[in-house]
C-alpha cells in the first residue's frame, strides 16, 4: 500500500521539477528551432527562453513566471493500493500544491471565477486538477505534474462542432486558423505544442486535445498512419504561416502537432484545439508499490 504522504511528496517534487527544469524533449525542440530561425528577434526570444531555463535549473528562479494551472495526471495499475483509498490522491494533490505555492514554485493565480477572490494557495473547487486513469495490472503509481501556463490555455483553446461533410479538409482549415490566431502576437508563447482532439463528446474532445498537448513527447506521431498524416500536414502548414517564436517572423510557430481521436456520433464531427506553451512544463514521478520514487522528464 502506498502511503498518502509519499504521494504528496512525489506530487510536490514533480511540480517543483516541472516549474524549474525544461523537459529534455522540449529543450531539444527549442534548440532545433534556434538553429532554424534567421530573424534576429525570433532568435533572441529563443535564446532568452533557453537562458532562463538554464538559470532556473541552477536554482535561480523558474523557467517561466506564469505557472498557470496546477494539473496532475495520475495513472494507477489494477493492483495499486493507496492509503485512504484513491480519494486520498486529491488531498495529496491539494497538500502538494499549497506547499509548492508557499515555496514560490507556483504563483497563486487560481481565483474564484465570479468573485475573483484569491484563496492564495491555488487550492479550491476543481483545483488542483487531478486526472486519474487505470492502466495495466501493476501496483504502482505514475504522476505527471504539469503547471500549464495561462497564456496557452486562455488564447490557445478552441472548439467547434463541425459537420461530418466538412471532413479532413474542414478539420485542417479550422486547426490552422486556430494556430494562426493563437500564435499571432505571441499570445500562446510559441513555438507551441498543439494538441488536437477529434471525435467523442464535446468534453471528451477537449480532453483529447489537452492530453495530446501535455502528455505526448514532442513530435512523436500517432500510431495510426492516417492520423499521423494529418499531424504532419498540419505541422508543415503551420511552418508556412510566417510566424515564429513569440509571434516574430519565422517558421517555428509550433514545435509539434499531436492529434488524438475517439469514436463519435454519426451526425457529429467535434474538433478541439489546445496549446501548450514553449516551455512545455511537465515532470514525471514513478512510485513503486513499496514507496520508492523515481523522477524523470521523459514521457513513456
pLDDT at 58: 94
pLDDT at 292: 94
pLDDT at 215: 97
Structural contact between residues 270 and 159, judged by C-beta atoms closer than 8 angstroms? yes
Q: Round the average pLDDT of the chain to a whole number and report it.
A: 96
pLDDT-derived band at 14, boundaries 50, 70, 90: very high
Residue 144 is given by DSSP the state E
Burial level of 125, CB count in 10 A (0-12/13-18/19+)? exposed
- 111 alpha-carbon distance from chain centroid: 20
Please enumerate in sequence order all residues whose Cβ is within 8 A of that of 257, keeping only pairs 6 or more positions apart, or say none.
175, 194, 196, 231, 234, 235, 238
Q: Which three cell numbers stand for residue 93?
A: 494533490
pLDDT-derived band at 239, boundaries 50, 70, 90: very high
CATH number of 4-20+63-149+280-296: 3.30.360
Global pTM reads 0.95
Measured CA to CA, the distance from residue 152 to residue 209 in angstroms comes to 13
- Strand ranges for 109-253 from DSSP E: 129-134, 141-148, 157-162, 192-199
What are the tens digits of pLDDT across the range 46-70? 999 999 999 999 999 999 999 999 9
Rounded CA Rg of the chain:
19
pLDDT at 196: 98
- Strand ranges for the chain from DSSP E: 69-76, 129-134, 141-148, 157-162, 192-199, 254-262, 269-276, 283-287, 293-296
What are the tens digits of pLDDT across the range 111-143? 999 999 999 999 999 999 999 999 999 999 999
Domain boundaries, the chain: 4-20+63-149+280-296, 151-276
pLDDT-derived band at 255, boundaries 50, 70, 90: very high
Amino acid at each position: 500500500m502506498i502511503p498518502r504522504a509519499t504521494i504528496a511528496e512525489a506530487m510536490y517534487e514533480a511540480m517543483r521539477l516541472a516549474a524549474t527544469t525544461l523537459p529534455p524533449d522540449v529543450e531539444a525542440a527549442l534548440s532545433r528551432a534556434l538553429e532554424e530561425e534567421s530573424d534576429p528577434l525570433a532568435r533572441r526570444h529563443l535564446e532568452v527562453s533557453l537562458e532562463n531555463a538554464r538559470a532556473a535549473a541552477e536554482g535561480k528562479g523558474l523557467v517561466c513566471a506564469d505557472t498557470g494551472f496546477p494539473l496532475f495526471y495520475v495513472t494507477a495499475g489494477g493492483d495499486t493500493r493507496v492509503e485512504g483509498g484513491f480519494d486520498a490522491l486529491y488531498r495529496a494533490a491539494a497538500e502538494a500544491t499549497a506547499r509548492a505555492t508557499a515555496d514560490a514554485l507556483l504563483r497563486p493565480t487560481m481565483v474564484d471565477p465570479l468573485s475573483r477572490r484569491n484563496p492564495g494557495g491555488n487550492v479550491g473547487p476543481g483545483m488542483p486538477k487531478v486526472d486519474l486513469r487505470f492502466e495495466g495490472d501493476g501496483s504502482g503509481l505514475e504522476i505527471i505534474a504539469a503547471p500549464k501556463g495561462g497564456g496557452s490555455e486562455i488564447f490557445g483553446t478552441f472548439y467547434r462542432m463541425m459537420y461530418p461533410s466538412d471532413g479532413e479538409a474542414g478539420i485542417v482549415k479550422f486547426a490552422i486558423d486556430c494556430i494562426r490566431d493563437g500564435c499571432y502576437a505571441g499570445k500562446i508563447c510559441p513555438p507551441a505544442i498543439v494538441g488536437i482532439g477529434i471525435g467523442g463528446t464535446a468534453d471528451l474532445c477537449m480532453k483529447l486535445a489537452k492530453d495530446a498537448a501535455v502528455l505526448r513527447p514532442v513530435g512523436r506521431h500517432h500510431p495510426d498512419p492516417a492520423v499521423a498524416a494529418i499531424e504532419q500536414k498540419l505541422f508543415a502548414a503551420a511552418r508556412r504561416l510566417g510566424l515564429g517564436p513569440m509571434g516574430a517572423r519565422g517558421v517555428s510557430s509550433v514545435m509539434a502537432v499531436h492529434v488524438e481521436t475517439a469514436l463519435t456520433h454519426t451526425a457529429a464531427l467535434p474538433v478541439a484545439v489546445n496549446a501548450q506553451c514553449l516551455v512545455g512544463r511537465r515532470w514525471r514521478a514513478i512510485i513503486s508499490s513499496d514507496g520508492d520514487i523515481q523522477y524523470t522528464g521523459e514521457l513513456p
